[in-house]
Amino acid sequence: MAWVYLFFAGLCEWGWPVGLKLGLTDSGLHWGWILFAALCMIASGVLLMVAQKNIPIGTAYAVWTGIGAVGTFVLGILIFDEPATLARAFFVGLIVVGILGLKLASD
C-alpha cells in the first residue's frame, strides 16, 4: 500500500508547478490556481510521509521527485506547448528507468 501512496504523492507533485505557473500571469495573481498549488503541495507531502513508513526515505524521495518531474515534463508539452525534442524525451526516459530500477531494487 505504501507504493500506492507514493504513486499518488507523485501525481500530486504535478499540480503545484502547474498551479504556480497558471497562478502568476502578466495580468496578475490568480488566487484559485495558487490555492490549487498549495493544496497539491500539502497532499503530496502527506502522502509521501505516509509512504515513508514502509519505503526507505532515499528511495521514496527519488521516486516521488521522479514521478513529479516526468509528469510535469509531459504536462509542459501538452498544456504549455513546451518543446518535445528527442533529446529531452531521452533524458526524461532515463528518469523513468531510474524510478523503475528503484522500485525493483526495493522489493
**pLDDT tens, residue order, the chain (107 aa):** 999 999 999 999 999 999 999 999 999 999 999 999 999 999 999 999 999 999 999 999 999 999 999 999 999 999 999 999 999 999 999 999 998 998 888 86
The total number of structural domains in the chain stands at 1
C-alpha span between 94 and 73 (Å, rounded): 13
pLDDT of residue 106: 80
Closest among 64, 74, 76, 67 to 96, alpha carbons compared: 67
Instruction: For the chain, give percent helix, strand, coil, nearest 5.
Output: 80, 5, 15
Structural domain boundaries enclosing 40: 2-106
What is the pTM (predicted TM-score) of this model? Answer: 0.87
